[in-house]
């Protein structure tokens, strides 16, 4: 008798869901594995799924290994793409990787809960539901667990719920970062924890990286928020010293390099345009949101986390002020080239990109704007894309340090001798 396929479903085929699906599929620790990718149907996701069905990884990435593996997996028919939520009943394990946004927190909460209900209303008995989405601490215990228990009682089945936040690093080693990372998890009960740990062991390089169990799901949720809040604070911290060093005419980059010689301080950040992307721009505020949602004590404050977000939002404005000073505040008709549009190095992801924020501020000063970024295929109003850097520009702004820019010397262009260069990356 042919052994039945093990089915793992991924709800949400976005940046994180897609790469996680590939990481699971290439694991050699599963036998007869099938990956089910389930999306909510709209114009954006229809385009994503249509691309995926052709074997084209639907999100821009310069990870050649990811792109190659994805194509092979689709051709081997190990992947199925669907908008049918009833397909969840086929899955033994269901990963939830849908968004929990900050801009409209009440609407986002409602959308996330509806997505969760779609999963458990269609899940078969003894399924493991694994939350990878970053959520306000207390979400699993206070919101998801009661819903799950009601559905269990109604359907007379047993389901398991765990939380193990994603830890991925977008860039040229995106796929590798899914496997080569320390994972943290917990569950709402003993069996949920066991099932989650067994699953993580199959998709993580356990020879080099640890899998850490925390006491409960709220601890796991909090771990992710503190981790990202710490990084956001670290990035914001250096902004005040940039202003200080400017006034004293000091080379802050040289000072930071000297500090990094100490192993205890080698993660100090360099000055730049501020944070971007999906996580660091919102996660630091989730502690406050969690307190408002789930705690009677509303007086808990997060001054560092909240200030970090405020400072980061202002950092592009500080960079703009430096540019304006060089041109006596007049940028009218000046030719400005933006080098690097994505929110971070070696990705094509534009979500909350500081470069876009800077461009929006520059537009008000009426310059002629151009951008160069081989990883970004998007077109923008009032800013022209160039395929290579040549010709004359009054200002060149290095906003992102892609690997392909590493050995690039702007000074080799003779026509650029009068150009003013700003390194904001």
Q: Tell me the three state secondary structure of residue 160.
A: strand
Tell me, yes or no, whether 110 lies in a domain. yes
> Which among 186, 214, 242 is the end of a domain?
214
- Average the pLDDT over 162-177 and give the result: 91
pLDDT at 156 over 60: yes
Contact indicator for 410, 397 with CB cutoff of 8 Å: no
> Which among 179, 196, 214 is the end of a domain?
214
Q: Tell me the three state secondary structure of residue 381.
A: coil
Domain span at 361: 327-425
Question: Residue 410: what pLDDT?
Answer: 57
The least confident of 1-10, 326-335, 352-361 is 1-10
pLDDT at 84 over 70: yes
pLDDT at 414 over 50: no
- Give every CB contact of residue 124 below 8 A, 6+ residues apart in sequence: 89, 90, 91, 157
- Average the pLDDT over 362-375 and give the result: 88
Tell me, yes or no, whether 128 lies in a domain. yes
Tell me, yes or no, whether 332 lies in a domain. yes
Give Cα separations from 141 to 78, 184, 188, 254, 340 (angstroms): 34, 17, 7, 48, 41
Please count the other Cβ atoms lying within 10 Å of the Cβ belonging to residue 179: 18
Question: Residue 1: what pLDDT?
Answer: 40
Confidence of residue 408 (pLDDT cuts 50, 70, 90): low
Question: Residue 140: what pLDDT?
Answer: 96
* Mean pLDDT rounded to a whole number for the chain: 88
Tell me, yes or no, whether 234 lies in a domain. no
Q: What is the pLDDT of residues 97-154, one digit of tens each?
A: 998 877 666 777 888 999 999 999 999 999 999 999 999 999 999 999 999 999 999 9
Query: Which residue reads 């000046």 in tokens?
Result: 334
| 160 & 28 share domain | yes
Give CA–CA dist 109/100, Å, rounded.
7
Q: What is the pLDDT of residues 9-62, one digit of tens each?
A: 999 999 899 999 999 999 989 888 999 999 999 999 999 999 999 999 998 888
Nearest to 372 by CA among 344, 336, 415, 409: 336
Tell me, yes or no, whether 79 lies in a domain. yes
Question: Residue 274: what pLDDT?
Answer: 76
Give CA–CA dist 254/62, Å, rounded.
31
Q: What is the pLDDT of residues 323-340, one digit of tens each?
A: 887 777 678 888 989 888
- Average the pLDDT over 178-198 and give the result: 97
Tell me, yes or no, whether 424 lies in a domain. yes
| 194 & 51 share domain | yes
The enclosing domain of 395 has a CATH number of 3.40.50.720
Long-range contacts (CB closer than 8 Å, 24 or more residues apart) made by 241-244:
241/271, 242/271, 242/318, 243/318
Nearest to 137 by CA among 190, 215, 191, 200: 215
Question: Residue 34: what pLDDT?
Answer: 93
Percentage of the chain modeled with pLDDT above 90: 48
Tell me, yes or no, whether 263 lies in a domain. no
Question: Residue 178: what pLDDT?
Answer: 94
Question: Residue 176: what pLDDT?
Answer: 95
- Give every CB contact of residue 208 below 8 A, 6+ residues apart in sequence: 180
Q: Are strands 211-213 and 6-11 parallel, antiparallel or unpaired?
A: unpaired
**132's tokens:** 């990878």
Confidence of residue 170 (pLDDT cuts 50, 70, 90): confident
- Average the pLDDT over 57-80 and give the result: 90
Nearest to 13 by CA among 101, 79, 107, 103: 79
The percent helix, strand, coil of the chain (3-state, each to 5) is 45, 15, 40
Q: Tell me the three state secondary structure of residue 361.
A: helix
Backbone angles phi, psi at 423, to 5 degrees: -100, 105
Give CA–CA dist 186/290, Å, rounded.
18
- Average the pLDDT over 224-249 and give the result: 90
Rounded to the nearest 5 degrees, what angle is found at the Cα of 337, between the Cα atoms of 333 and 342? 135
Question: Residue 149: what pLDDT?
Answer: 97
Between 422 and 360, the higher pLDDT residue? 360
Give CA–CA dist 343/374, Å, rounded.
14
Question: How many structural domains compose the chain?
Answer: 2
Tell me, yes or no, whether 251 lies in a domain. no
The least confident of 190-204, 288-302, 404-418 is 404-418
Nearest to 93 by CA among 24, 14, 181, 174: 24
Give CA–CA dist 301/276, Å, rounded.
24
Beta bridge partners of 211: 183
- Average the pLDDT over 259-267 and give the result: 92
> Which among 163, 195, 214 is the end of a domain?
214
């Amino acid at each position: 008798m042919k052994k039945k396929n093990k089915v793992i479903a991924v709800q949400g085929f976005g940046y994180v869901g897609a790469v996680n699906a590939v990481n699971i599929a290439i694991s050699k620790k599963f036998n007869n594995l099938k990956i089910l990718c389930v999306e909510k149907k709209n114009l954006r996701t229809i385009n994503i799924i249509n691309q995926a069905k052709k074997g084209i990884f639907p999100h821009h990435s310069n990870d050649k290994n990811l792109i190659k593996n994805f194509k092979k997996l689709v051709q081997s028919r190990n992947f199925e793409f669907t908008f049918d939520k009833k397909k969840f009943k086929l899955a033994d394990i269901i990963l939830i990787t849908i968004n929990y946004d900050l801009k409209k927190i009440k609407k986002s909460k409602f959308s996330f809960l509806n997505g969760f209900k779609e999963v458990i209303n269609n899940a078969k008995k003894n399924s493991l539901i694994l939350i990878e989405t970053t959520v306000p601490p207390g979400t699993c215990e206070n919101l998801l667990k009661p819903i799950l228990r009601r559905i269990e009682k109604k359907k007379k089945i047993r389901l398991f719920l765990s939380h193990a936040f994603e830890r991925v690093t977008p860039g040229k080693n995106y796929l590798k970062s899914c496997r080569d990372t320390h994972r943290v998890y917990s569950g709402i009960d003993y069996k949920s924890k066991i099932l989650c740990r067994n699953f993580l062991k199959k998709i993580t390089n356990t020879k080099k990286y640890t899998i850490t169990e925390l006491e409960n799901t709220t601890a796991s949720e909090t771990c992710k928020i503190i981790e990202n809040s710490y990084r956001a604070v670290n990035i914001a911290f250096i902004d005040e010293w940039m202003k200080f060093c400017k006034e004293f005419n000091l080379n802050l980059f040289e000072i930071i390099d000297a500090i990094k010689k100490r192993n205890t301080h080698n993660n100090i950040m360099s000055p730049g345009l501020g944070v971007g992307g999906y996580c660091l721009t919102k996660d630091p505020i989730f502690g406050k949101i969690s307190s408002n949602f789930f705690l009677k004590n509303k007086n808990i404050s997060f001054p560092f986390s909240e200030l970090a977000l405020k400072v980061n939002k202002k950092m592009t404005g500080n960079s703009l002020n430096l540019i304006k000073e060089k041109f006596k505040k007049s940028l009218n008709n000046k030719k400005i080239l933006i080098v690097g549009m994505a929110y971070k190095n070696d990705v094509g992801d534009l979500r909350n990109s500081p470069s876009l924020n800077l461009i929006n501020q520059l537009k008000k000063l009426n310059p002629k704007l151009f951008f160069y970024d081989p990883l970004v295929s998007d077109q923008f109003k009032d800013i022209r894309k160039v395929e290579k850097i040549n010709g004359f520009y009054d200002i060149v702004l290095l906003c992102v340090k892609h690997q392909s820019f590493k050995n690039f010397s702007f000074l080799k262009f003779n026509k650029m001798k009068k150009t003013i260069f700003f390194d904001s990356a």
